[in-house]
Each structure stands twice: as structure tokens, then as C-alpha cells.
Chains A and B, each alone.
Chain A
Amino acid sequence: MLTDSTRTQDGNQRALIDVIDVKKSYVTNLVTTPVLHGVNFSMQRGEFVAIMGQSGSGKSTLMNILGCLDTPSGGDYLLDGKQVSALSRAQLAVLRNKTIGFVFQSFNLLKRMTIQDNVALPLIYAGVSRAEARRRASQQLENVGLGEYGQRQPNQLSGGQQQRVAIARALVADPPLVLADEPTGNLDTKTSVEIMSLLTRLNREAKQSIILVTHEPDIAAYASRLVRLKDGLVLYDGPAATGLQQMRSEQSEQELGMPANEVSE
């Protein structure tokens, strides 16, 4: 998937994602609610980024824009060097199909369809023949450790297994970017660890670029970089370890009743 030009190191490398002063507001009943106030953020290939922030801080809103499912109200979003706002709905669909794999909190597998066909679907939309799509789907299911479950229906699988199927589906078309919005939000701790180990392995071994949204510091700790959002702005962007350390100290300060230093930030 990686071309030579993108593999070159340092500054002249083309970023996978470039978010420049992106704004987003929702309009409901003539009331405009600004959610993102100008987010700046860029990401290289092979990075594993965790996005954190309080509920309502705009994480999902940002993820929807990054996933080309929604359009920003202002600013620029470049995915793989392409200006996304210039594309038609059909072109966006093709871009999502080729460039992005989605993993959702609620798994979002299609009912009444076998696991194998679920995983094969992105390839079907890409115009790959059914036999070839099924072959590659089976391969991908092996990869996530579910090789024997291909002929089952989604509701015959546990939550953790369904999420692994969703990851297989996200990876099947070999996209440069995987977006996961709270992928462990519906799972218990043990299963969450399994899912995170799988994502980490993908990032380490296949240099898979991943953006992950989570509320849990333990989950964010699997990532190498952390982006914290607060009220529609980037509060922290840097190494995950440092960022998480900072969060912990903020929290203990709050628990000890010390004056919060958020205001100064």
C-alpha cells in the first residue's frame, strides 16, 4: 500500500492526515451549536493516535470528519493529500472504501449476512468478484483469529468476537487508515485487552495507521501518541505516556481539592 514517496522520512513526507483549523457547528431548529472551534492536527503513516476528552468535547464529531462521513463547516481537511471538501458523495464513498476502515463502538455488522460476507462487503463495493472477495475475507478472519466462524451469523458471536470481525472488515480492503470510535466501549476489561492487543499488533507489524477514541487511560496507553480535546479545541498533542501522566496528576489535584489549573491552559 505504501508508495516510495510516502515512505521517505522527515519533513518532506506527505502526511496521511492534515486537519487545518477545522470548525464544525450543528444547526438544529435554527439554533447553531458550535462544536469544533478550530482543530489543528496532522498524522503520518504508521502512527497510532488515541483521542481523549470529556463527553461532548467533539471527539465523535472530529472522527466523522476524519472518516469523510461528515463535512467540516470551516477549515481544510486533507486526506492522503486530497482536499476532501472538493469531492462528490460518490467520490467520498470510493475514498472511504479505499482509504478508511471503520471500527464502531456498537460493532455494526449487518444482520442476515454471514460473518464472511460481512467482511467481504467492502471488496464487493470495490468491484472485486465474489469468489475473490470471500477468499480475502477468510484470510482476514484467520488474521484476527476467527477463521472457523466465517459461516456463522453475527448474532451467534460474542461482543468481543463481533468486534474482531469488524476489525477484519475494516482491514480487508487494505486501507491506509483505521478509525475506531470507542471500540472497547461495549466490552469488558479482558476482551478490551484482547482487542487492543490486536490493534497494537497491527500497528507494530503491519505499520497500520490507527486513530482511536477512548475514555479510558488504560486503553489510550496502547497508543504512541495522545490528542486531548476540550470544548472543541486541542488541549494536548504529544506522546501518550506524557499526556496520560499529566492527566493523572490533574485528576489527583482535583481529588485533593487543589485549585484546578485547567483555567491557565
Chain B
Amino acid sequence: MKFGHIFAEAFRAMLANPLRTMLTMLGIIIGIASVVLMLAIGDGIKKFIDKQLAVLGSNLILVQSDTRKSPGARARTGTTQTLTIDDAEAINRLSSVAGAVPVLNTFSQIAYGNTNANAQVQGTTSATFVIRNLRLGAGIGLSEVDVTSASRVAVLGKKIAEELFYKNDPIGQSIRIDNQSFQVIGVLDNEGQSFDMGDVGQIVLVPISTARVSLVRMQTPRSVAYIVAQSKTAEGVNEMVRDIEEVLRDRHRIRADDPDDFRVVNFGEIAKQGEAIGKGLAFALGFIGAVSLVVGGIGIMNIMLVSVTERTREIGIRMAIGARPSDVLWQFLIEAIAICLVSGIVGIAISMGLAAAVNATGMFELTVGVRAILIATLFSGFIGVFFGFYPARRASKLQPVECLRYE
């Protein structure tokens, strides 16, 4: 007996009882959809993190002031030490540091002619372009001179430039940030999300000196919100963190047994944590998938056993006219496999639909890859074999006389 023929018979048997077949398939469908989504989420998170690291630059850490934990230190020194531009420069001079930039942030109204937009304005220095991998689509970036002379210049993110200027050339145009005039000198080419800039396409970069003078009013003139530093190598991040802690404790005159008045945030670690959360989510989905596959598989086994009993007479007739035990075994095994494969295909289709729905929101990218489809298909076939074998074997062991006597 040929396989094509057995498959045709398997589909006929499935269609003979469509509702029952569909209910049987449900467990496998859910299981396969979960497994495919698990793989897609795993891939998606990896891509998301890679993309973020590419945007924000790798081997970055962030230094924030943190005085909550050190009231003692404050009391002794009598001053509220915050991070300053001088701290940033001191960090920049460390041998393990590739670059360090001080940052001041504000959320401001940006206007060009009659067009208004709200955006995050980040005051920083020219080194930010290097350590964050920022590329220019047009014009030039901030220079050291811009910072020292506090020029009123701005570099716009790609999206906000489009929003304000539509198709016109923004370079050299004058915009107003919080009603103060700035000249656009460059437009970024980057896309994506950054840990402290939000959507890079929506950012406005200005010299930190200008930001402090015109946009952000600080009590202490040289204070900054935080400092971002990049280590020279990936392996050097921990060493750099130690160097930074040492130099800042020294500069802030913190005694040996007093806690730090700043905090170092390691983005590599955060990315790893994000990855771990993603893995956790994927694992949970994988677990749901595995459970529904096992439950679904048992359901299939159960239905196949019922089917074998219901079709005892049919088995007897087939054996009488020449079906060998192996023919009967294949018939039922292939029926179970066919149910699982169809369920697998439906599950893949559903997960693709869900992935498309998630992608449509634009927040996260899920791609159901060839690898996921292959794994899911193989897996559903395997479940068919695993849970279909016992009923099929049972059918093949039936005695023809007894089957023919069965009512």
C-alpha cells in the first residue's frame, strides 16, 4: 500500500468527524503556537537588545549622583556633592575610559515657523557622537568649540527633523527651543530606542553649556544630571567602574568607611537582565507549549484509541481482504501524524497572525523564522508518532475473526 493512499485515507477519516477532529487538534494547535511564539520572542528580544546596543553604543556605563544612602557623609562635609562637568572631565582622563560625556536633559517645546513639537532636549558634549555610535545624515555634529562657547546650535533626530521641516533642508535653519533661537547644524541618521534618549529619532542635541545657561536652571552652575562613560574594551568595563569609583570618591572626599554618593549603572548588565527577562518569558511560553503539547498528545492518543474501537469492524474487513498488520499500523499512525501536522500548520499560522499583530503596534518586532517553522513541524510530527504509535499498534494486533464479530 502506498503512502499517498494512506494519507488520503487519513484525511478522509479526519473529515468524517470534523468537530471531534478539531477539538482534538486544539491542544496541539495551542502548543505549537506557543512554541513558535516562544522562539519568535526569543529571537525578537535578542534582535531588540542587539539593536539597542548598536544605538546606544557598547560597553557603556552611567554615573548618577546618589545621596540617599549617605546622610552621614553629607553631614560631615557640609555640602551636597553632585556630579559636575569637572567630574566628567576627570573620568574622561582615566586610562580605562574611551570617552565620558556629561548630560543634562529637559523636555521642551520646539518650534519652526508655525510647526510645533515637544521633544527631549539633551545637553551634552561632542564625545557623545563617538561613544553612542551616532551618525549624521546631514550637516555636522556638536564640536568642542560649540561647548566651550555655549553656541546656540542643535542637532536634530531624523523624525523630529521631518516633523518640523517636512521635505525642506533643515541645515542652517533657525528653530526655537522654549522660545529661544537655535540654529540647526546637523540631522542624525540613527533609529531606535536608547536607554536615556528614548526614541533617537525624536531627540534634540545641544551643547551642555548652552543647555545649562538657556534651558535648564541648576542651583549649582557646574552640575550635570549624569555622566555616560565608555570603556575601551568589553572586558575592561569592570576595571573602568572601579577606576571611576576611586576617582569620584577621591574628588568628593569620601572617607574610607563612608558609602558612595553616586551610583554606577552598567548597561551591559541591564541588557543582560533584559535578556534574562526575555528568556524567562520565552521559557514560560515554552512551558505552556510543552504542557499543551503533552495534554494535546494524550488527547490524540485517547481519540485514536476510541477510533480504533469504533472502527474494529472496519479493521476486521481490511484484514480479511488483505491488510497486513503493518498496513493497519501505518494507517492509524499516519492518521495521528496527519492530525498533528495539520494542527502544527494551523498553530504556525496562528502564531504568524499574532506576530503580525504585535509588529503592527510597532513596539516590538516578532519574526516567525524558517527555523521556528521547521522545529514546530518536526515537533508536531514527532508528537503524532509518539502518541499515535500505541493506538496504531493496538489496532494492528487485533485478530480478524474477533473484529468481524464485533458489532
Which residue among B13, B317, B320, B401 has the maximum number of chain A CB atoms within 10 Å of its CB? B320
Q: A125 interface residue, CB < 8 Å from B?
A: yes
Q: Would you call B317 and A93 a contact (CB within 8 A)?
A: no
Q: B76 interface residue, CB < 8 Å from A?
A: no
Interface flags for B307-319 (1: CB within 8 Å of A; 0: not) read 0000001100111
Supposing A124-B1, A130-B2 touch, asked if A69 and B404 sit within 8 A by C-beta, the answer is yes
Supposing A69-B401, A90-B326, A124-B5 touch, asked if A96 and B317 sit within 8 A by C-beta, the answer is no
Chain B residues near A222 (CB, 8 Å)? none
Chain B residues near A125 (CB, 8 Å)? 1, 318, 321-324, 327
Chain A residues near B322 (CB, 8 Å)? 93-94, 96-98, 122, 125-126, 173
- Tell me, in angstroms, the Cα distance from A254 to B325 when the chains sit together: 49
Chain B residues near A94 (CB, 8 Å)? 322, 324
Name which residue of chain A comes closest to B321, CB basis.
A122
- Tell me, in angstroms, the Cα distance from A108 to B317 when the chains sit together: 7
Q: Would you call B324 and A102 a contact (CB within 8 A)?
A: no
- Tell me, in angstroms, the Cα distance from A179 to B350 when the chains sit together: 53
**A200 CB, min distance to chain B CBs, angstroms:** 23
- Tell me, in angstroms, the Cα distance from A94 to B323 when the chains sit together: 8
- Tell me, in angstroms, the Cα distance from A55 to B26 when the chains sit together: 50
**B321 CB, min distance to chain A CBs, angstroms:** 5
Q: Would you call B320 and A102 a contact (CB within 8 A)?
A: yes
Name which residue of chain A comes closest to B314, CB basis.
A110
Cβ-neighbour of B404 out of A108, A112, A113, A129 (below 8 A): A108
List chain A positions with a Cβ less than 8 A from chain B: 64, 67, 69-70, 89-90, 93-94, 96-98, 102, 104, 108, 110-113, 121-122, 124-127, 129-130, 169, 173
Chain B residues near A108 (CB, 8 Å)? 313, 317, 320, 404
Q: B57 interface residue, CB < 8 Å from A?
A: no
Q: Would you call A104 and B404 a contact (CB within 8 A)?
A: yes
Q: B400 interface residue, CB < 8 Å from A?
A: yes
Cβ-neighbour of B5 out of A64, A110, A111, A130 (below 8 A): A130
Name 20 extra pairs, CB < 8 A, besides A96-B322, A98-B322, A127-B2: A69-B320, A69-B401, A69-B404, A89-B325, A93-B327, A94-B322, A96-B321, A97-B322, A102-B320, A104-B404, A108-B313, A112-B13, A121-B318, A124-B2, A124-B5, A125-B322, A126-B322, A129-B2, A130-B4, A130-B5
Supposing A112-B16, A130-B2 touch, asked if A69 and B400 sit within 8 A by C-beta, the answer is yes
Q: Would you call B323 and A93 a contact (CB within 8 A)?
A: yes
**B338 CB, min distance to chain A CBs, angstroms:** 15
Q: Would you call B404 and A127 a contact (CB within 8 A)?
A: no
- Tell me, in angstroms, the Cα distance from A89 to B321 when the chains sit together: 13
- Tell me, in angstroms, the Cα distance from A126 to B317 when the chains sit together: 15
- CB interface residues, B 388-407, toward A, < 8 Å: 399-401, 404
Chain B residues near A121 (CB, 8 Å)? 318, 321
Cβ-neighbour of A90 out of B13, B317, B324 (below 8 A): B324
